[in-house]
Amino acid sequence: MKDLELGAVQERFADIIWANEPVASGDLVKLCEKELNWKKPTTYTVLRKLCEKGIMQNVNGTVTSLISRGDFYSAKSEQIIEDSYDGSLPAFIAAFTSRKKLSKKEVDEIQKMIDGFRNKG
């Protein structure tokens, strides 16, 4: 699996790429100057790190993702459950709902998902 450990600043940078891809590297520098107050070398340094992690790529000056935003955050969520709850989704949900009350709408949406999985089974 790719190294999906990103700091908050790297995640913010990745979000900029996901929102604008494909993006020319020069335009990415301008976006990061405006949104993150970064200089050109900082943008290229962080981009290089994300490319090394296999999350982004810079081919002929065009920056694109190798993993979608949705896939990235799904894999990150799976890793949290694996690392913190021994891979138990019910344990994660129990911990999450012990601190946050779910609305009726949220409960209904979750129940719909469960029913969908059950029907596929």
C-beta of residue 60 within 8 angstroms of C-beta of residue 51: no
User: How much is the pLDDT for 2?
Assistant: 60
Q: Are residues 57 and 14 in the same domain?
A: yes
Q: Is the pLDDT of residue 100 over 90?
A: no
Residue 50: give the domain boundaries: 8-69
Q: Is the pLDDT of residue 1 over 80?
A: no
User: How much is the pLDDT for 24?
Assistant: 98
Q: Are residues 15 and 63 in the same domain?
A: yes
**Confidence band for 58, pLDDT divided at 50, 70 and 90:** very high
**Whole-angstrom distance, CA of residue 32 vs CA of residue 103:** 37
Q: Identify the CA nearest to 51 among candidates 61, 66, 34.
A: 66
Three-state DSSP state, 38: coil
* Mean pLDDT to the nearest integer, 87-110: 91
**Whole-angstrom distance, CA of residue 42 vs CA of residue 48:** 10
The pTM of this model reads: 0.77
**Whole-angstrom distance, CA of residue 31 vs CA of residue 105:** 37
Q: Are residues 63 and 97 in the same domain?
A: no
**Confidence band for 82, pLDDT divided at 50, 70 and 90:** very high
Structural domain count, the chain: 2
If one compares 61 and 97, the residue with the highest pLDDT of the two is: 61
Spatial neighbors of 109 by CB under 8 A, at least 6 apart, are none
Q: Is the pLDDT of residue 57 over 50?
A: yes
